[in-house]
Amino acid sequence: MDGLTVAAAQRCVIEAMKQLGAESVPLQQALGRVLAEDVQANRDQPPYDVSAMDGFAIRSADVANVPTVLEVIEDIKAGDMPTKVVGAGQCARIMTGAPVPQGADAVIRVEDTQALSDGRVRIDVSVKTRNDIRDRGENMRTGEVVLQAGTTITPGVVGMLAMVKAAQVSVYRQPRVAILSTGDELEGLSDPFDANKIPDANSYALMAQVQALGIAPVLLGIARDEPTHLKEMLQRGLQFDVLLVSGGTSVGVHDYVRPTLEALGVQMKFWRVQMKPGHPMAFGVAPLTWVFGIPGNPVSSMVCFEEFIGPALRCIMGHHKHFRTTVTAKLSRDVKHKHIRTEFVRVMLRKEAGALVATPTGDQGSGILRSMAMAEGLMVVPAESKGIAAGEQVTVQLLDGTAFQSEAGGEC
């Protein structure tokens, strides 16, 4: 069998990756990035014991026998500092988040009290000491590491960063990604319409796949299947951290991409992967650049991105979870498998009686991009499978969403 298994090729790609150092970004632009440094708390939060409820700060000993009536000595709102000490038979009206006054050791929520016409308050329940009091520093303590390097910045993390006043955040640098399509048959998006040409879909599908990871790639355009022009375009691409080259990696007499890359000093790590679609996939490294040679068929191009390039970019960005989340689903109809390669079948997913059901998105030819446009997942058919019958359990890589996992799913 020619080429690496999918799992071996994924390992080879990931092992070749590294982070690109750190940069500082404003908090407003940090979502989706990865922390390059530990973050410490610079204050106790909350800064003092505060009330967890709107109610009354009391002495728990005073409410051992209820009902009982207490004198209200002051009103404390969030943002106020108490000015009085709560003595025996006294309480303070207190709002959520306001500091608990000296003398008080518990809070009783307003729902368990009754305001009396003379300004005093009747307490109807007994509570233990510390009831409804949030401890000073329960959220974070000065000097404590609250976020570790390597943490993906989610909305919750953004909130934590704001809490430690991190207006600038140290994150791993994103790779600069270039995309080059190759092929004399291709028509660019703004080229005049020519019915004999093939529209360049791959530049844009790849662009969108890169964008979905939060990276803005640069489109280099279309290189002709001609060594001198191709070399020129590839040289431009090799100025970037990552170069994606679509087409021209196969065995056609005009497939110049691999020899030209080699002539430019790219060391090819592998060519061909035991997968369908995507067999003529190539990967190489240059001094400054990771280079992916991607088969030109539009579905192959997108599937190769999912299996190798997305995980590689996530690794460079500092993420620990590189691979698409997988789910187990029930196959809705028979799927044949005659190959000895791992197959990625495009499927739609629906819930039926609480279980996920996967249905292939029609014709699975590697040029039929509609199968990918409709797909919610890639069903992994292991290389050794003799076909999968309706009702059997299958592994599906989810194509949408921002949740990822550490290991590739399915038996690739």
Q: Which part of the chain contacts ligand AMP (CB under 6 A), choosing from 55-63, 198-206, 327-335, 336-344?
A: 198-206
186 touching ligand AMP, by CB under 6 A: yes
Shortest Cβ 404–Mg ion spacing (Å)? 32
Q: What are phi and psi of 231, to 5 degrees?
A: -60, -45
Site for Mg ion, residues 53 to 82, rule: CB under 5 A: none
Select the binding partner of residue 202 from ligand AMP, Mg ion, none (C-beta < 5 to 8 A, by kind).
Answer: ligand AMP
Q: Which part of the chain contacts ligand AMP (CB under 6 A), choosing from 242-250, 284-292, 306-314, 348-356?
A: 242-250
Which of 284/296 has CB closer to Mg ion? 296
Among 51, 246, 274, 361, binds ligand AMP (CB under 6 A): 246
Closest CA to 394 of 310, 335, 308: 335
Among 99, 103, 175, 248, binds Mg ion (CB under 5 A): 248
Which of 248/318 has CB closer to Mg ion? 248
175 touching ligand AMP, by CB under 6 A: no
| Number of alpha carbons in the 13 Å side-chain half-sphere of residue 372 | 22
Among 175, 247, 298, 377, binds Mg ion (CB under 5 A): 247
Select the binding partner of residue 385 from Mg ion, ligand AMP, none (C-beta < 5 to 8 A, by kind).
Answer: none
Which residues, including other chains, have CB under 8 Å from residue 267's CB and lie 6 or more apart? 284, 285, 286
Q: What are phi and psi of 399, to 5 degrees?
A: -85, -20
221 in Cβ contact with 181 (< 8 Å): yes
Q: Which helix (H) or strand (E) holds 342?
A: strand 342-352
Which of 186/372 has CB closer to ligand AMP? 186
Q: What are phi and psi of 29, to 5 degrees?
A: -115, 15
247 touching ligand AMP, by CB under 6 A: yes
260 in Cβ contact with 249 (< 8 Å): no
Which of 76/299 has CB closer to ligand AMP? 299
| CA–CA separation, 229 and 231 (whole Å) | 5
Q: Which part of the chain contacts Mg ion (CB under 5 A), choosing from 27-35, 153-161, 167-175, 244-252?
A: 244-252
Select the binding partner of residue 144 from Mg ion, ligand AMP, none (C-beta < 5 to 8 A, by kind).
Answer: none
Pairing mode, if any, of strands 404-405 and 323-324?
antiparallel
| CA–CA separation, 36 and 160 (whole Å) | 16
**Cα three-residue angle 292-201-294, rounded to 5 degrees:** 15
248 touching ligand AMP, by CB under 6 A: yes
| CA–CA separation, 290 and 270 (whole Å) | 12
Which of 55/296 has CB closer to ligand AMP? 296
Q: Which part of the chain contacts ligand AMP (CB under 6 A), choosing from 46-54, 73-81, 196-204, 259-267?
A: 196-204
179 touching ligand AMP, by CB under 6 A: no
Q: What are phi and psi of 218, to 5 degrees?
A: -110, 125
Site for ligand AMP, residues 267 to 326, rule: CB under 6 A: 295-298
- Strand, helix or coil at 298? helix
Question: If 0-12 CB within 10 Å is exposed, 13-18 middle and 19+ buried, where does residue 368 land?
Answer: middle
Among 202, 260, 326, 361, binds ligand AMP (CB under 6 A): 202
Among 113, 250, 289, 342, binds ligand AMP (CB under 6 A): 250
Residues in the chain: 412
Helices H / strands E in the chain, number of each: 8, 28
Closest CA to 373 of 335, 400, 402: 400
Shortest Cβ 376–ligand AMP spacing (Å)? 22
Q: Which residue is nearest to ligand AMP (CB)?
A: 296
The residue ranges that bind ligand AMP (CB under 6 A) are: 181, 183, 185-186, 198, 200-203, 246-248, 250, 252, 295-298
Instruction: Give the interface with Mg ion as residue ranges (CB under 5 A).
Output: 183, 247-248, 296
